[in-house]
Amino acid sequence: MNFINEFVRHLSILRGEAKSERICFITAPVEDLTDLAKTVMKGHGLVGDIQEADRFHVTLAVFPDFPEEAIIDFLQISLPIKFSVSAARLGTFESAPAKPLVLMVDPDPALIRLQSDVYNLGVRMGLQLPEPDHFKASKWQPHITLAMNVEELPDSFNMIKPVKVGVDRFILQRDGYDEIVEVNLPGSIGDRLLVTVRSKVQRTVQTKIVERITPETGIEVSHEEFMALMRGEIVVHKPTRRVLVFDDGPFAVVRHGDHVEQEGEEGRRGGSQPGYTHVDGAGDGGIRRVPSDESLAKLKAGEIEIDREPDTSKMAGVTGEKFTRDGEEGGEVEHELTEDELWKLWEWYAGDNPK
Protein backbone atom coordinates (compact mmCIF):
# COMPACT_ATOMS: atom_id res chain seq x y z
CA MET A 1 0.00 0.00 0.00
CA ASN A 2 1.31 3.47 -0.94
CA PHE A 3 0.31 5.51 2.08
CA ILE A 4 0.98 8.88 0.47
CA ASN A 5 -1.31 8.06 -2.47
CA GLU A 6 -4.04 7.01 -0.06
CA PHE A 7 -3.52 10.15 1.99
CA VAL A 8 -3.76 12.35 -1.08
CA ARG A 9 -6.92 10.62 -2.18
CA HIS A 10 -8.65 10.91 1.17
CA LEU A 11 -7.94 14.66 1.28
CA SER A 12 -9.10 15.05 -2.34
CA ILE A 13 -6.09 17.26 -2.98
CA LEU A 14 -5.10 16.60 -6.54
CA ARG A 15 -8.29 15.98 -8.49
CA GLY A 16 -6.06 15.11 -11.41
CA GLU A 17 -4.80 18.68 -11.75
CA ALA A 18 -1.17 18.29 -10.63
CA LYS A 19 1.63 15.94 -11.60
CA SER A 20 2.82 13.76 -8.71
CA GLU A 21 6.48 14.64 -9.31
CA ARG A 22 5.70 18.31 -8.59
CA ILE A 23 3.74 17.81 -5.40
CA CYS A 24 5.48 18.56 -2.10
CA PHE A 25 4.44 17.28 1.32
CA ILE A 26 5.88 19.16 4.27
CA THR A 27 5.69 16.96 7.36
CA ALA A 28 6.96 16.84 10.93
CA PRO A 29 8.02 13.23 11.68
CA VAL A 30 7.38 11.79 15.13
CA GLU A 31 8.52 8.64 16.90
CA ASP A 32 7.35 5.11 16.10
CA LEU A 33 3.78 4.70 17.36
CA THR A 34 3.28 1.13 16.12
CA ASP A 35 2.68 -0.30 19.60
CA LEU A 36 0.08 2.36 20.35
CA ALA A 37 -1.65 1.73 17.03
CA LYS A 38 -1.79 -2.02 17.69
CA THR A 39 -3.16 -1.48 21.19
CA VAL A 40 -5.83 0.93 20.01
CA MET A 41 -6.85 -1.27 17.09
CA LYS A 42 -7.12 -4.33 19.33
CA GLY A 43 -8.95 -2.45 22.06
CA HIS A 44 -11.62 -1.25 19.61
CA GLY A 45 -11.78 -4.52 17.68
CA LEU A 46 -10.60 -2.86 14.47
CA VAL A 47 -8.85 -4.32 11.43
CA GLY A 48 -6.76 -2.24 9.02
CA ASP A 49 -3.31 -1.34 7.71
CA ILE A 50 -1.15 0.06 10.51
CA GLN A 51 1.20 2.83 9.46
CA GLU A 52 4.81 1.85 8.76
CA ALA A 53 7.16 2.42 11.70
CA ASP A 54 9.16 5.27 10.17
CA ARG A 55 6.21 7.13 8.65
CA PHE A 56 4.29 8.52 11.60
CA HIS A 57 4.08 12.28 11.18
CA VAL A 58 2.03 15.46 11.36
CA THR A 59 1.42 16.98 7.93
CA LEU A 60 2.08 20.73 7.98
CA ALA A 61 1.20 21.60 4.39
CA VAL A 62 0.80 20.16 0.91
CA PHE A 63 1.60 22.12 -2.24
CA PRO A 64 0.43 20.39 -5.46
CA ASP A 65 2.87 22.29 -7.72
CA PHE A 66 6.13 22.89 -5.89
CA PRO A 67 9.19 23.82 -8.04
CA GLU A 68 12.72 22.88 -6.99
CA GLU A 69 13.77 26.52 -6.72
CA ALA A 70 11.19 27.09 -3.96
CA ILE A 71 13.04 24.75 -1.60
CA ILE A 72 15.63 27.27 -0.48
CA ASP A 73 12.95 29.70 0.73
CA PHE A 74 11.59 27.08 3.12
CA LEU A 75 15.07 26.68 4.62
CA GLN A 76 15.02 30.34 5.69
CA ILE A 77 11.91 30.38 7.88
CA SER A 78 12.24 31.22 11.56
CA LEU A 79 12.26 27.93 13.45
CA PRO A 80 10.87 27.12 16.89
CA ILE A 81 13.07 25.27 19.36
CA LYS A 82 12.46 21.51 19.50
CA PHE A 83 9.16 20.82 21.21
CA SER A 84 6.70 18.09 22.16
CA VAL A 85 3.02 17.64 21.35
CA SER A 86 0.34 15.77 23.27
CA ALA A 87 -2.65 13.76 22.11
CA ALA A 88 -5.40 11.83 23.87
CA ARG A 89 -8.21 11.62 21.31
CA LEU A 90 -8.80 9.19 18.48
CA GLY A 91 -10.78 10.09 15.40
CA THR A 92 -11.28 9.72 11.67
CA PHE A 93 -12.29 11.76 8.64
CA GLU A 94 -15.71 10.55 7.58
CA SER A 95 -15.40 11.75 4.00
CA ALA A 96 -12.04 10.07 3.48
CA PRO A 97 -12.28 6.99 1.24
CA ALA A 98 -9.07 5.61 2.79
CA LYS A 99 -10.87 5.25 6.14
CA PRO A 100 -8.03 6.41 8.39
CA LEU A 101 -7.72 6.01 12.13
CA VAL A 102 -5.98 9.12 13.43
CA LEU A 103 -4.62 10.49 16.67
CA MET A 104 -5.82 14.08 17.12
CA VAL A 105 -2.93 16.29 18.26
CA ASP A 106 -3.46 19.12 20.73
CA PRO A 107 -2.73 22.56 19.20
CA ASP A 108 0.65 23.22 20.82
CA PRO A 109 1.76 26.86 20.23
CA ALA A 110 5.10 25.81 18.72
CA LEU A 111 3.38 23.41 16.33
CA ILE A 112 0.85 26.07 15.32
CA ARG A 113 3.68 28.52 14.70
CA LEU A 114 5.66 26.08 12.57
CA GLN A 115 2.62 25.08 10.51
CA SER A 116 1.44 28.64 9.97
CA ASP A 117 4.92 29.81 8.97
CA VAL A 118 5.22 27.00 6.42
CA TYR A 119 1.73 27.49 5.01
CA ASN A 120 1.87 31.30 4.94
CA LEU A 121 5.23 31.25 3.16
CA GLY A 122 3.68 29.15 0.41
CA VAL A 123 0.82 31.63 0.14
CA ARG A 124 3.21 34.60 -0.08
CA MET A 125 5.24 32.83 -2.77
CA GLY A 126 2.10 32.25 -4.81
CA LEU A 127 2.38 28.46 -4.71
CA GLN A 128 -0.63 26.47 -5.82
CA LEU A 129 -2.78 25.47 -2.85
CA PRO A 130 -4.65 22.19 -2.52
CA GLU A 131 -8.35 22.10 -3.31
CA PRO A 132 -10.06 21.84 -0.93
CA ASP A 133 -7.51 23.55 1.29
CA HIS A 134 -7.31 21.73 4.63
CA PHE A 135 -4.23 23.62 5.80
CA LYS A 136 -5.46 27.18 6.27
CA ALA A 137 -5.67 28.24 9.90
CA SER A 138 -9.44 27.92 10.13
CA LYS A 139 -9.48 24.31 8.87
CA TRP A 140 -6.20 22.64 9.80
CA GLN A 141 -6.63 19.73 12.21
CA PRO A 142 -3.21 18.47 13.35
CA HIS A 143 -3.24 14.69 13.55
CA ILE A 144 -1.07 11.60 13.25
CA THR A 145 -2.43 8.78 11.10
CA LEU A 146 -2.17 5.46 12.94
CA ALA A 147 -3.79 3.18 10.34
CA MET A 148 -5.52 3.24 6.96
CA ASN A 149 -8.28 1.17 5.35
CA VAL A 150 -9.79 0.51 8.77
CA GLU A 151 -12.93 -1.61 8.56
CA GLU A 152 -16.12 -0.66 10.42
CA LEU A 153 -14.90 2.50 12.09
CA PRO A 154 -17.09 3.37 15.11
CA ASP A 155 -19.00 6.63 15.44
CA SER A 156 -17.06 7.46 18.61
CA PHE A 157 -13.87 6.31 20.31
CA ASN A 158 -12.84 5.71 23.89
CA MET A 159 -10.41 8.14 25.46
CA ILE A 160 -6.84 6.90 25.60
CA LYS A 161 -3.97 7.61 27.95
CA PRO A 162 -2.34 10.90 26.83
CA VAL A 163 0.56 10.42 24.45
CA LYS A 164 3.48 12.85 24.23
CA VAL A 165 5.82 12.82 21.23
CA GLY A 166 8.73 15.03 20.28
CA VAL A 167 9.03 17.16 17.16
CA ASP A 168 12.65 17.90 16.24
CA ARG A 169 12.58 18.40 12.46
CA PHE A 170 10.45 18.84 9.38
CA ILE A 171 10.83 17.28 5.95
CA LEU A 172 10.08 18.37 2.41
CA GLN A 173 9.28 15.33 0.31
CA ARG A 174 7.78 14.30 -3.00
CA ASP A 175 5.19 11.61 -3.66
CA GLY A 176 6.10 8.17 -2.34
CA TYR A 177 8.20 9.50 0.58
CA ASP A 178 10.96 10.69 -1.74
CA GLU A 179 12.63 13.08 0.69
CA ILE A 180 14.18 16.26 -0.68
CA VAL A 181 15.59 17.94 2.41
CA GLU A 182 15.31 17.48 6.16
CA VAL A 183 15.53 20.54 8.42
CA ASN A 184 16.42 19.96 12.07
CA LEU A 185 14.87 22.31 14.62
CA PRO A 186 17.33 24.07 16.95
CA GLY A 187 17.91 22.59 20.39
CA SER A 188 18.32 25.99 22.01
CA ILE A 189 18.35 29.69 21.18
CA GLY A 190 21.24 30.49 18.86
CA ASP A 191 21.68 27.00 17.43
CA ARG A 192 22.73 26.92 13.79
CA LEU A 193 20.36 25.59 11.16
CA LEU A 194 21.21 22.04 10.07
CA VAL A 195 19.92 20.81 6.73
CA THR A 196 20.42 17.34 5.30
CA VAL A 197 20.17 16.66 1.58
CA ARG A 198 18.93 13.11 1.44
CA SER A 199 20.94 11.54 -1.40
CA LYS A 200 23.82 12.16 -3.79
CA VAL A 201 21.42 11.79 -6.69
CA GLN A 202 19.28 14.58 -5.32
CA ARG A 203 22.35 16.71 -4.69
CA THR A 204 23.23 16.34 -8.36
CA VAL A 205 19.73 17.15 -9.54
CA GLN A 206 19.35 20.14 -7.25
CA THR A 207 22.19 22.13 -8.76
CA LYS A 208 20.23 25.34 -8.37
CA ILE A 209 20.20 25.15 -4.59
CA VAL A 210 23.28 23.09 -3.73
CA GLU A 211 26.73 24.66 -3.95
CA ARG A 212 29.62 22.18 -3.93
CA ILE A 213 32.57 24.12 -2.61
CA THR A 214 36.35 23.98 -2.33
CA PRO A 215 38.60 26.73 -0.93
CA GLU A 216 39.01 27.98 -4.49
CA THR A 217 35.26 28.55 -4.94
CA GLY A 218 35.49 31.94 -3.30
CA ILE A 219 32.53 31.49 -0.97
CA GLU A 220 33.23 32.90 2.48
CA VAL A 221 32.25 30.46 5.20
CA SER A 222 32.33 31.09 8.92
CA HIS A 223 34.31 28.95 11.36
CA GLU A 224 31.04 27.46 12.65
CA GLU A 225 29.89 26.59 9.11
CA PHE A 226 33.27 25.08 8.30
CA MET A 227 33.28 22.85 11.38
CA ALA A 228 29.75 21.69 10.57
CA LEU A 229 30.85 20.79 7.05
CA MET A 230 33.84 18.93 8.47
CA ARG A 231 31.40 16.87 10.53
CA GLY A 232 29.59 15.92 7.35
CA GLU A 233 26.68 18.27 7.90
CA ILE A 234 25.11 20.40 5.19
CA VAL A 235 24.41 24.03 6.00
CA VAL A 236 22.61 26.97 4.49
CA HIS A 237 24.97 29.79 3.51
CA LYS A 238 23.01 32.89 4.50
CA PRO A 239 24.79 35.46 2.26
CA THR A 240 24.10 33.43 -0.90
CA ARG A 241 21.04 31.50 0.40
CA ARG A 242 22.47 28.27 -0.93
CA VAL A 243 22.97 24.84 0.61
CA LEU A 244 26.69 24.15 1.04
CA VAL A 245 28.43 20.79 0.81
CA PHE A 246 32.08 20.01 0.28
CA ASP A 247 33.05 18.78 -3.14
CA ASP A 248 33.68 15.03 -3.26
CA GLY A 249 37.12 13.99 -2.07
CA PRO A 250 39.66 15.75 0.13
CA PHE A 251 39.98 19.45 -0.61
CA ALA A 252 43.72 19.54 -0.08
CA VAL A 253 46.71 17.27 0.19
CA VAL A 254 49.87 19.03 1.29
CA ARG A 255 53.08 17.54 -0.05
CA HIS A 256 56.18 18.42 1.86
CA GLY A 257 59.83 17.43 1.73
CA ASP A 258 62.74 16.96 -0.67
CA HIS A 259 62.06 15.45 -4.09
CA VAL A 260 65.60 15.44 -5.48
CA GLU A 261 65.24 12.61 -7.97
CA GLN A 262 61.60 13.17 -8.95
CA GLU A 263 61.28 16.92 -9.06
CA GLY A 264 58.17 17.99 -10.94
CA GLU A 265 57.76 20.88 -13.31
CA GLU A 266 57.20 24.07 -11.31
CA GLY A 267 53.59 25.26 -11.42
CA ARG A 268 52.28 22.06 -12.94
CA ARG A 269 49.31 20.37 -11.30
CA GLY A 270 50.35 17.01 -9.93
CA GLY A 271 54.04 17.79 -9.97
CA SER A 272 56.19 17.08 -6.93
CA GLN A 273 58.09 20.34 -6.69
CA PRO A 274 59.19 20.79 -3.04
CA GLY A 275 57.15 23.28 -1.10
CA TYR A 276 54.02 23.14 -3.24
CA THR A 277 50.51 22.19 -2.26
CA HIS A 278 48.21 20.36 -4.63
CA VAL A 279 44.51 21.09 -4.45
CA ASP A 280 42.43 18.21 -5.74
CA GLY A 281 40.30 19.30 -8.67
CA ALA A 282 41.42 22.92 -8.56
CA GLY A 283 43.61 22.90 -11.67
CA ASP A 284 46.91 24.73 -12.10
CA GLY A 285 45.61 27.77 -10.26
CA GLY A 286 45.24 25.72 -7.11
CA ILE A 287 48.96 25.16 -6.56
CA ARG A 288 50.25 27.35 -3.74
CA ARG A 289 53.74 27.70 -2.28
CA VAL A 290 54.38 26.75 1.35
CA PRO A 291 57.64 26.67 3.31
CA SER A 292 59.70 23.50 3.48
CA ASP A 293 61.40 21.82 6.41
CA GLU A 294 63.66 18.76 6.20
CA SER A 295 63.32 17.49 9.76
CA LEU A 296 59.68 17.95 10.75
CA ALA A 297 56.34 17.93 9.00
CA LYS A 298 55.92 21.67 9.35
CA LEU A 299 53.55 23.93 7.46
CA LYS A 300 53.61 27.67 7.87
CA ALA A 301 51.02 29.67 6.00
CA GLY A 302 50.02 32.99 7.47
CA GLU A 303 48.95 32.22 11.03
CA ILE A 304 48.99 28.44 10.68
CA GLU A 305 51.91 26.49 12.04
CA ILE A 306 51.89 22.72 12.30
CA ASP A 307 55.02 21.47 14.04
CA ARG A 308 54.67 17.78 14.85
CA GLU A 309 56.16 14.51 13.82
CA PRO A 310 53.85 12.85 11.30
CA ASP A 311 51.55 10.14 12.61
CA THR A 312 52.51 6.97 10.75
CA SER A 313 49.66 4.95 12.24
CA LYS A 314 46.62 4.06 10.21
CA MET A 315 44.58 7.18 9.60
CA ALA A 316 41.15 7.33 11.17
CA GLY A 317 38.54 10.05 11.31
CA VAL A 318 35.89 11.67 9.21
CA THR A 319 37.86 14.34 7.39
CA GLY A 320 40.30 12.26 5.39
CA GLU A 321 42.53 15.30 4.89
CA LYS A 322 46.26 14.47 4.86
CA PHE A 323 49.55 16.23 5.43
CA THR A 324 52.39 14.33 3.79
CA ARG A 325 56.15 14.47 3.54
CA ASP A 326 58.80 12.23 2.07
CA GLY A 327 60.23 9.49 4.24
CA GLU A 328 63.94 8.80 4.36
CA GLU A 329 63.75 6.52 1.35
CA GLY A 330 61.38 8.62 -0.69
CA GLY A 331 58.12 7.16 0.60
CA GLU A 332 55.37 9.50 1.75
CA VAL A 333 54.37 9.71 5.42
CA GLU A 334 50.84 10.85 6.20
CA HIS A 335 49.67 13.04 9.04
CA GLU A 336 46.00 13.79 9.68
CA LEU A 337 45.19 17.41 10.40
CA THR A 338 42.86 18.39 13.20
CA GLU A 339 39.66 20.28 12.42
CA ASP A 340 41.21 23.48 13.76
CA GLU A 341 44.29 23.05 11.58
CA LEU A 342 42.08 22.35 8.58
CA TRP A 343 40.17 25.55 9.26
CA LYS A 344 43.40 27.54 9.30
CA LEU A 345 44.49 25.83 6.10
CA TRP A 346 41.12 26.63 4.53
CA GLU A 347 41.55 30.29 5.48
CA TRP A 348 44.94 30.34 3.86
CA TYR A 349 43.69 28.73 0.65
CA ALA A 350 40.61 30.91 0.42
CA GLY A 351 42.43 34.22 0.80
CA ASP A 352 44.40 36.54 2.99
CA ASN A 353 41.51 37.75 5.14
CA PRO A 354 40.51 35.35 7.94
CA LYS A 355 36.77 34.97 8.33
Q: pLDDT tens digits for 205-225?
A: 444 455 666 666 667 778 877
Q: What is the pTM of this model?
A: 0.58
The per-residue pLDDT of the chain, averaged, comes to 67
Average pLDDT over residues 127-151: 92
Range with lowest mean pLDDT among 32-41, 68-77, 79-88, 166-175: 68-77
Q: Among 75, 85, 132, 355, which residue's Cα sits nearest to residue 227?
A: 355
Asked if pLDDT for residue 88 goes beyond 80, the answer is yes
Superfamily of domain 3-191: Cyclic phosphodiesterase (3.90.1140.10)
**pLDDT band for position 13 (cuts 50, 70, 90):** very low
pLDDT at 309: 41
pLDDT at 132: 86
**pLDDT band for position 234 (cuts 50, 70, 90):** low
- For 308, residues 6+ apart whose C-beta sits below 8 A from its C-beta are 296, 297, 335
pLDDT at 204: 41
Contact between 92 and 102 under an 8 Å Cβ cutoff? The reply is yes
Residues of the chain with CATH 3.90.1140.10: 3-191
What is d(CA 183, CA 236) in angstroms, rounded to the nearest whole number? 10
Contact between 242 and 236 under an 8 Å Cβ cutoff? The reply is yes
Higher pLDDT, 344 or 328: 344
Q: What residues are paired with 324 via a beta bridge?
A: 255, 334
